[in-house]
Amino acid sequence: MSWRRPQPKHVRDDRGPIGRIRGPIVLFAVAFALATGTAAFAYTTVSGAGNGQAQAVTLQTPGAGQASTPTAATLAISWSPSAGLPPGAGYLVLRSTSPGGPFAKISSGTCQQATTLVSTATSCTDSGLSAGTTYYYEVEADFYDVHTLWVSPPDAQFSGTTSPATGASDPPAATSSAGDPTVTSAASATFTAGVAGSFQATASGTPAPTFSDAAFSGCSPSVLPAGVTFSDKGLLSGTPAADATGTFTVCINAANGVGPDGTQRFTLTITSQTLVFSSPPVTGATSANPNLGPVTVRRQTGSGAPITGGALTVQLASGLPAGVTFGSTQFAASSVTSVTIPSGESTASFWFGSTASGKVTLTASSPNYVSANQTESITTAPAGLGVTPAPGGTGTPFVTCGPLGTNDTCNVTGVGAGGTAVLAVSFYAVPGVPATYSATQPSTVTESGGGTGSVTIGPAATTSSPQTVTAPTGISVLTFGPYRLTLDVGP
């Protein structure tokens, strides 16, 4: 199998700044813009048989960056995170000594490509710089797939200037003492809406610094969402409201009265948790009992990752004021109004029935979760079950049935003494007119009385053929939910 990939504008490979096309390469490729600041590229694997599987990477442009805390040889680089950064992605920091570029990858300090490509950190230190020099930077979100570096469009260019060199006749530069506070904790954290979260900021220095969230050069704090606070001990904690999603800036100041305050531009990302129906919509017949399903509800983050925390009770409802029932199993005698997603799992299933035909919208909800909605299609239920002779029995079977209904009788004659009848089972709307019970799930009709045990009528099918039920001489009973058909087989 070989990889064939395009080289769009923002793709860099491991052999140089910009990949160049060398000969015909494209068997299948798509590049499109999803939104402002978004790059999306797809490539495919190609096998000898001509089959392929497409993969895609979607990257959002990072937020504004800044260069701060200069020394004669270093600059502290930070930026706002890229929204929806996929697993395994990171950032690429590019540097130039001229405004507008050309920009190149960094090979020193913690901003070097090997460090940032697979890190979601939003800050690094660029080292090995020349004193008294202005440097220009761009930051791109990236995803590295062994040979190709996929990147987003860069954020807005920003710059910083290193401190002047200290000459032999110059007074010595001020140095920080061991007591000066310095923020040492990570520059970002993620909370989930509706779920308690916490992050402990730390800082060095003697005496121990106290913390505050206040503006400083290059940082303006956001209003934190309701339920989230930042304490003077450096603890960011709380339970964000269910709708409090997005990114928030905390301007961390660490002060102990010794030297200048330690500062850090910190980003808090709050993601949502949501419920979705992970099973497809159902099309089936009306019923006073929960006959259709199973319908699966799933809890996940706003980005689609499963949530497998503690047990979660999910309330079930429909758009109809009455006529919809829910059950934990098909044709359950007792209805339910909720299902529970077990601890450590992300899904639970249920069945439902509606006495009204047409479109029915089901809703799954739970506190602090975005609710799920799905529309199902309900058709008029068949009047009853019926059978017709099928090949394989004895004699020449002849079938006559009583009035069509959910509890009916069919007499089968002509099988001979001690013979058996092989019968195809169907639902009927009116006598002689087969009907579909469900378009999306099979219907398993059970048999009792010495026959074959069960027969399955497939989705959207009006007959069980080629599957059949074998009924011996005597009484057999076919049952499916509210439907009951008695077979009286005689010679």
Task: Give the tens place of pLDDT for each residue, 440-474.
Answer: 999 999 998 877 888 999 999 988 888 899 999 99
Strand partners, 138: 94
CA 427, CA 150: separation in Å to the nearest integer? 56
Residue 228 has pLDDT above 80, yes or no: yes
What are the Cα distances from residue 94, in Å, to 107, 211, 346, 430?
10, 32, 41, 75
> pLDDT above 70 covers what percent of the chain?
85
Q: What is the pLDDT of residue 151?
A: 81
Who's near 49: CB < 8 A, 6+ residues apart?
none
Judged by DSSP in three states, 116 sits in: helix
In this predicted model, which residue has the larger pLDDT, 254 or 450? 254
Nearest C-alpha neighbor of 140 from the set 104, 99, 108, 193: 104
Q: What is the pLDDT of residue 112?
A: 83
Task: Give the tens place of pLDDT for each residue, 329-364.
Answer: 999 999 999 999 999 999 999 999 999 999 999 999
Q: What is the pLDDT of residue 220?
A: 94
Architecture of domain 1-165 in this structure:
Sandwich (2.60)
Residue 119 has pLDDT above 50, yes or no: yes
Lowest mean pLDDT among 76-90, 107-121, 243-257: 107-121
| Residue 255 near residue 181, CB atoms below 8 Å | yes
Q: What is the mean pLDDT of residues 149-175?
A: 71
Task: Give the tens place of pLDDT for each residue, 22-54.
Answer: 233 232 333 333 333 344 433 332 333 333 334
**Number of CB atoms found within 10 A of residue 336's CB:** 17
Query: What ranges make up the beta strands (E) of 97-234?
Result: 104-105, 123-126, 134-144, 148-151, 158-161, 182-183, 188-192, 197-200, 203-204, 210-213, 228-230
Nearest C-alpha neighbor of 81 from the set 40, 36, 116: 116
Evaluate whether 1-165 and 182-271 have a shared fold.
Answer: yes
Task: Give the tens place of pLDDT for each residue, 372-420.
Answer: 999 999 999 999 999 999 999 999 999 999 889 999 999 999 999 889 9
Q: What is the pLDDT of residue 410?
A: 94
In this predicted model, which residue has the larger pLDDT, 289 or 194? 289
Q: What is the pLDDT of residue 146?
A: 60
CA 244, CA 424: separation in Å to the nearest integer? 58
Residue 271 has pLDDT above 50, yes or no: yes
CA 439, CA 458: separation in Å to the nearest integer? 8
| CATH T-level fold of 182-271 | Immunoglobulin-like (2.60.40)
Nearest C-alpha neighbor of 263 from the set 271, 275, 255: 255
CA 17, CA 15: separation in Å to the nearest integer? 7
Q: What is the pLDDT of residue 35?
A: 33
How sure is the predictor about 2, in pLDDT bands with cuts at 50, 70 and 90?
A: very low
Identify residue 362 by its one-letter amino acid code.
Answer: L
What are the Cα distances from residue 201, in Å, to 208, 334, 419?
12, 52, 84
Write down the pTM of the prediction: 0.53
Q: What is the mean pLDDT of residues 428-447?
A: 92
What are the Cα distances from residue 20, in Å, to 9, 17, 41, 425?
10, 10, 16, 65
DSSP 110: G
| Residue 266 near residue 251, CB atoms below 8 Å | yes
In this predicted model, which residue has the larger pLDDT, 71 or 143? 71
Domain extents in the chain = 1-165, 182-271, 274-379, 384-489
Architecture of domain 274-379 in this structure:
Sandwich (2.60)
CA 453, CA 479: separation in Å to the nearest integer? 11
What are the Cα distances from residue 107, in Å, to 76, 144, 431?
15, 17, 81
Mean pLDDT, the chain, as a whole number? 83
Residue 480 has pLDDT above 50, yes or no: yes
